[in-house]
A and B are shown apart, each in its own frame.
Chain A
Amino acid sequence: GENVEQHPSTLSVQEGDSAVIKCTYSDSASNYFPWYKQELGKGPQLIIDIRSNVGEKKDQRIAVTLNKTAKHFSLHITETQPEDSAVYFCAASMRSGYSTLTFGKGTMLLVSP
């Protein structure tokens, strides 16, 4: 089955700096890669996703890049703000009617004012 590795497990940055979280996946059949933000005591919220036919996607301060050959994808947050502090999870899934999401172990991002 699919295995998703995520690094780093914790990341501390100063407000205004950029943050990068990296994930690798094992199954070349995976073709959907979402990123979720989870605040304490809440469910995960989708912040951005990318499909395998695209190499990069951007939404304001958030961007995701995908390298299919190397089987890794990354989340980039620019101009970080204290409210970006949360746990971020990457995930991978295959295109099929019964596919499930395989999650990374999460990255706790702390943005200090």
Chain B
Amino acid sequence: GAVVSQHPSWVICKSGTSVKIECRSLDFQATTMFWYRQFPKQSLMLMATSNEGSKATYEQGVEKDKFLINHASLTLSTLTVTSAHPEDSSFYICSARDDMQENGYTFGSGTRLTVV
């Protein structure tokens, strides 16, 4: 089946530094990928939709200069949390939509970010 690899699975960084999270579709092409944020005991909150070769579309309230998204190929999207602060600590999850399947969404395993 479709597999999405997300790395790292966890990361601890100091306040003020930047962290990059990678999301790769391993066996399918994904023109569109999605980035979610999940707080403890809550649902997934869509942050942005990443489209290969174009600018990402951010949801209302999500700072695009803080959460930089790059989708340079049909199998890779990255999320960079810039100038991280403790309030950015969260569980970040990516999802990729298979170009060849209708509604074929596959999720990555998530990244636990802790900013100290």
Once the chains bind, are A100 and B107 in contact (CB under 8 Å)? no
The A interface, classified by DSSP as helix, strand, loop or mixed, is: loop
Once the chains bind, are A103 and B44 in contact (CB under 8 Å)? yes
Once the chains bind, are A105 and B110 in contact (CB under 8 Å)? no
> How many of chain A's residues touch chain B, expressed as a range?
20 to 34
Stretch in contact with the other chain, from A40-48, A63-71, A72-80: A40-48
Count chain B residues whose beta carbon lies closer than 8 angstroms to a beta carbon of A. Answer: 22
A1-42 residues at the B interface, CB under 8 angstroms: 32, 34, 36, 41-42
Instruction: Determine how close the nearest CB of chain B comes to the CB of A29; give it in whole angstroms.
Output: 14
Instruction: Determine how close the nearest CB of chain A comes to the CB of B53; give it in whole angstroms.
Output: 14
Once the chains bind, are B43 and A101 in contact (CB under 8 Å)? no
* A51–B102 CA distance with the chains assembled, in angstroms: 10
Once the chains bind, are B102 and A46 in contact (CB under 8 Å)? no
The B interface, classified by DSSP as helix, strand, loop or mixed, is: strand
- The residue from B6, B34, B41, B108 contacting A100, defined by CB atoms under 8 A apart: B34
B9-42 residues at the A interface, CB under 8 angstroms: 32, 34, 41-42
Residues of A within 8 A of B (CB): 32, 34, 36, 41-46, 49, 51, 89, 93, 95, 97-101, 103-106, 108
Q: What are 26 A-B contacts defined by CB distance under 8 Å?
A: A32-B103, A36-B107, A41-B110, A41-B112, A42-B109, A42-B110, A43-B4, A43-B6, A43-B107, A43-B108, A43-B110, A44-B93, A46-B107, A89-B43, A95-B103, A97-B32, A98-B32, A98-B49, A100-B34, A101-B46, A101-B105, A103-B43, A104-B43, A105-B42, A105-B43, A108-B41
